[in-house]
Amino acid sequence: MNALVIKNLQKTYKNGVKALKGVELSVKEGDFFALLGPNGAGKSTVIGIISSLVNKTSGQVEVFGHNLDANHSAVRMHIGLVPQEFNFNIFEPVGEILINQAGYYGINRKEAIKRAEVHLKQLELWDKRFDMAKELSGGMKRRLMIARALMHRPKLLILDEPTAGVDIEIRHSMWNYLKKVNAEGTTIILTTHYLEEAENLCNNIAIIDNGVTIEQTQMRTLLHRLDIETFVLYLANDMESLPACGDYTVRKIDSTTLEADIKKQQSISELFNTLKCCGIDVISMKNKTNRLEQLFISMVNNKNGNPDNSEPTS
Amino acid sequence: MNFSQQMVALRTIATKEYLRFVRIWIQTLLPPAITIGLYFIIFGEIIGSQIDDIDGYKYMDYIVPGLILMAVITNSYANVVSSFFSAKFHHSVEEMLVSPLPNSIILIGFVSGGVARGTIVGIIATLVSLFFSDVHIHNYMVTFSIFILTSILFALAGFINAAYARSFDDITIIPTFVLTPLIYLGGVFYSIKMLPEIWQDISLVNPILYMVNAFHYGLLGVSDIDITTAFIIIMGFIIVLYYFALRLLSKGIGLKP
């Protein structure tokens, strides 16, 4: 069953801006789905429409088979939203924010208190339950919004840049928590500017640009399309000059660092052998950029008719 | 949502609204008590002592119903307009908009907060008036029904103001330039019989005149207008404002782009 189906979704704002020009999307139940796009692509508008915060101009939205126009109550019951901006009353205590949110879904206070305890403990906010929300740090506020979105046990959790501005340690702990939530059966849709996050967490991906869906596929299928990967190679010893490396495009960054472009049909171990023959030992390596990032830039630029910036030059 | 879930949701909003104004009682409950006390001292004791009886009542006694109702009107309105606009301003209203709450529950929840504050402030105003006047209730049913209906009406009006408001200025314009003049010209401090005929006729356009006079009747047993007409007008306004506010919510006017 599909958790979400969007057909020809269009949105024109009152000022005449056409934010969505026909978005098509389908997300399977249980999926961890990445919705990506550059700033202003229309991701937040799509999320706003699904979660009833933005009125659509035309098109169809179905959540677990319920049509947004015909049965918006059932649609909303299934959705948990973690928006991009903090949208709770900062003058309310943390615990009350969760309990009130459960109340809006008809969950009685006794049950809401139990659920709030579970989520606050899992997201390491239990000690803050009596504190005013304004006293929380940015990372804590993000976790509070995740806890709030889960209070009514939604089948579809929508996260709009949930880790924006969060330090790396908390980000990783949030990833683990979201993986756990997904493993328990909750379908998750994630938008993020950290493409590493999307690559690590998501199975399927859609890219929106300029109000239309330009790609929807499996993450691994998409990554397989990457023709060239750029690696940074760290050398054991100083190197005076760059040797000839055959068909490989290699650039010298400094005396102990090289950058190499590896085409899909090329083998990086062959390059290592070539370098070793020239007395250059590679001790470690890393991708220059995140693979998805490289592909994302390439796709968005191609769509906009810009030169492919992901193509390295030798 | 089934009925019992809706009742849980309504109780949640109403409790939250009640706690909001109680938590900031220094801003919400104390100032009306001081203001009403000042009205009694200045208009009742100092100026009122120079004014003849009206409809057989001392001026101090005559202004009691109007001052109590003025407190109910301004506080019912102020509570909803500030609470709902703040929820919009901080985006916390989105917590409700993404939930399956029916619009009627959101509206009734906010209105109940306004009525609760209007009622508490009305009781405070009544207690303050006991220091200056010997208040009698002539007709309990009229008194309490007008008290509650007026509170509901202005809580609804406050909700509509907040829905349209885009800035904090917008939630002060209506109370300052519309509500206060209408209250002052609505027979709080005088009987319209004291006005020239033309101004008596013009005053009849003011809906607050009907509420104040109906409340006068409830407490004192005297009124410039027919009580049945007052009830019809108040109920008519409530029905119109309720459906108008519901329409704003369902269309997302002032709430959704």
The C-alpha angle A27, A28, A30, rounded to 5 degrees, equals: 115
Q: What span, in angstroms and rounded, lies between the C-alpha atoms of B194 and B183?
A: 17
For residue B256, being part of any structural domain is answered with: no
**Shortest alpha-carbon distance between residue A149 and chain B (Å):** 9
- Judged by a CB distance cut-off of 8 A, whether residue A83 touches chain B is yes
Nearest CA in chain A to B250: A55
Domain that holds residue B227: 3-251
Q: Give the HSE-up count for residue B195: Cα atoms under 13 Å, Cβ half-sphere.
A: 16
Enumerate the residues of chain B whose CB falls inside 8 A of the CB of residue A85. Answer: 91
- Block means of pLDDT (10 residues each) for chain B, 257 residues, are 94 95 92 90 81 83 90 95 94 94 96 97 93 87 95 96 93 90 86 84 89 92 90 96 96 88
Q: Does CATH number 3.40.50.300 belong to domain A2-223?
A: yes
Backbone φ and ψ of A60, nearest 5°: -120, 140
Q: What is the pLDDT of residues B18-36, one digit of tens each?
A: 999 999 999 999 999 999 9
- Could you tell me which chain B residue has the CA closest to the CA of A73? B100
Q: Which of A40-44, A80-84, A224-228, A306-310 has the highest average model confidence (pLDDT)? A: A80-84
Binary contact (B256, A85; C-beta < 8 A): no
Residue A44 phi, psi dihedral angles, 5° rounding: -65, -30
Mutation for A interface: B8, B89, B249, most A CBs within 10 A: B8
Residue A56 contacts B where some CB pair is shorter than 8 Å: no
Question: What single letter denotes the amino acid at residue A111?
Answer: E
Count of structural domains, chain B: 1
Residue A309 has pLDDT above 70, yes or no: no
Cβ atoms A222, A295 nearer than 8 A: yes
- The pLDDT of residue A312 is 35
**Cβ–Cβ of B95/A104 closer than 8 Å?**
yes
- For A108, the closest chain B residue by CA position comes to B8
With an 8 Å Cβ cutoff, are B257 and A103 in contact? no
What is the SS3 assignment for A156?
A: strand
Mean pLDDT over A68-89 rounds to 93
Q: For A160-192, how does the pLDDT look when each residue is reduced to its tens digit (9 = 90+)? A: 988 877 788 888 888 899 999 999 999 999 998
Chain B: residue nearest A88 by CA? B92
A105 with B100: Cβ contact below 8 A: yes
- Whether residue A106 lies within 8 A of chain B, CB to CB, comes out as yes
The pTM of this model reads: 0.84
Distance, in angstroms, between A226 CA and closest chain B CA? Answer: 38
Nearest to A40 by CA among A213, A216, A209, A159: A209
* Closest partner CB to A106 (pick from B8, B87, B251): B8
The mean pLDDT of chain B is: 92
Q: Tell if the CB–CB gap between B2 and A106 is shorter than 8 Å.
A: yes
Could A77 and B90 be called an inter-chain contact, meaning their C-beta atoms sit closer than 8 Å? no
Share of chain A above pLDDT 90, in %: 53
Q: Which residue of B has its CA nearest to A151?
A: B99
A311/chain B closest Cα distance in angstroms:
40
Instruction: Say if A116 is an interface residue toward chain B (CB within 8 Å).
Output: no
Residue ranges of domains in chain A: 2-223, 226-303
Show the tokens assigned to A209: 């640009």
Return the structure tokens found at B51: 């004014």
- The CATH topology of domain A226-303 is Alpha-Beta Plaits (3.30.70)
Rounded to the nearest angstrom, the minimum Cα separation between B108 and chain A is: 13
**Domains A2-223 and A226-303 belong to one CATH topology:** no
Is residue B257 one of the residues assigned to a domain?
Answer: no
**Most confident among A26-40, A79-93, B104-118 (mean pLDDT):** B104-118
Q: Which of A181, A138, A136 is nearest to A158 (CA)?
A: A181
Question: What confidence score (pLDDT) does residue A311 get?
Answer: 35
Q: What pLDDT is attached to residue A305?
A: 62
Tell me what pLDDT residue A226 has: 67
Reading the block at residue B159, the tokens are 């909700």
